[in-house]
Amino acid sequence: MKGVILDSSSLGDLVDLTPITATLTEWQVYPFTRAKDILPRIRDAQVILTNKILLDRTAFNQNPQIELVSIMATGSNNIDLIAARNSGVTVCNAIAYATPSVVQHTLTLLLNLFTSMPRYLTDTQEGRWQQSDVFCRLDHPIIEIKGKTLGIVGLGELGHAVALTARSLGMEVIAANSSGKKRAATPATPGTDPIPRVTLNELLGRADVVSLHCPLTTDNDQFINAEKLALMRSEAFLINTARGGLVDSQALIDALANNQLAGAAVDVLDQEPATANEPLLNHPNLNLLITPHNAWGALESRQRLIVQMQENITHYLNKAPVRMITGPALA
């Protein structure tokens, strides 16, 4: 049985692929695969590992030998799941492998916004402190997070973990109810106080910082639009470490430019890698922090991902698939 990894470079440097390559007798590992090379590279493979490379209906229809696709991520937007199921292919993913990394990245963005840290670093690098008549610089807002309200949109694995960490720093936490209606509070973890659940509109109006942790679906594409941003307080911040498509980029730019919003931080964009024409990258004067989709990228998290890929393959070979999104057993 042969396996193919289509985009190993998406895992970065220093990771050890041995747990994966030890599962099958033959592996072909490609750092990256362009669209024109997908079909030739999967032609004789029974097991395919991909992070963001697209596997569409054509890929499955022309390759009946494919048995297993293991996604090196949680999201499955790049896989035609219907075509995979119709072709009898098992599709598995990774779950909860990067929680500590995403939590610390989210809190890093939050703290940078509340302390204006990037602006102070720039001021120091450009010599403004050296030109000061007094011992300190207080040109930009510095806000305590203790007592502030964090609004979580997407109270799953990541949202819960961010909520617990924020509470440990003295923040109040509320979460949006996906149904759009108020419902009973949800325990963050056994033994902790429940997290109040409110409507999305109420959350946007109450929160000092809104943090997105929900998957991107056809129902919530660009749901953070001009109308929703207008509900937020002018002192509030928006953080998105989930998916770029959740936020209307132009609406966010307008809200920041018009001081409807105090600032924002995003780790994800509509199109990745970013292009030269990306609107969010062309407004350096806005209070907007952008990181290159690396919230998940701690080395420990990436190595956990590799172990989960190994488990997906070995459990499949033992006829007991784990983390299965779709497959013959779910048809």
- Catalytic residue, from 85, 105, 160, 243: name it: 243
Q: Is 213 among the residues known to form the active site? A: no
Q: Is 315 among the residues known to form the active site? A: no
> How far is it, in rounded angstroms, from Cα 121 to Cα 205?
31
Q: How many C-beta atoms surround the C-beta of residue 166 within 10 A?
A: 24
What is the identity of the amino acid at 118? P
- Catalytic residue, from 85, 105, 206, 293: name it: 293
DSSP β-bridge partners for residue 219: none
Collapsing DSSP states into helix, strand and coil, what is residue 212?
strand
Which of 102, 108, 81 lies closest to 92, judged by CA? 81
- Catalytic residue, from 26, 227, 235, 272: name it: 272
Collapsing DSSP states into helix, strand and coil, what is residue 47?
strand
Question: What own/partner pairs with CB < 8 Å and gap ≥ 24 does 225-231 have?
Answer: 225/251, 226/251, 226/254, 226/255, 228/200, 228/201, 228/204, 229/255, 229/260, 229/261, 230/255, 230/260, 231/201, 231/204, 231/205
* 273 cis-preceded (ω within 30 degrees of 0): yes
Task: Please state the length of the chain.
Answer: 331
* Assigned token pair, 322: 């784990």
> How far is it, in rounded angstroms, from Cα 126 to Cα 121?
9
Q: Is 105 among the residues known to form the active site? A: no
Half-sphere exposure of 187 (CA within 13 A, CB side): 4
**Hey, CA dihedral for 311, 316, 321, 323, is it positive or negative?**
positive
Tell me which residues are annotated as active site. 243, 272, 293
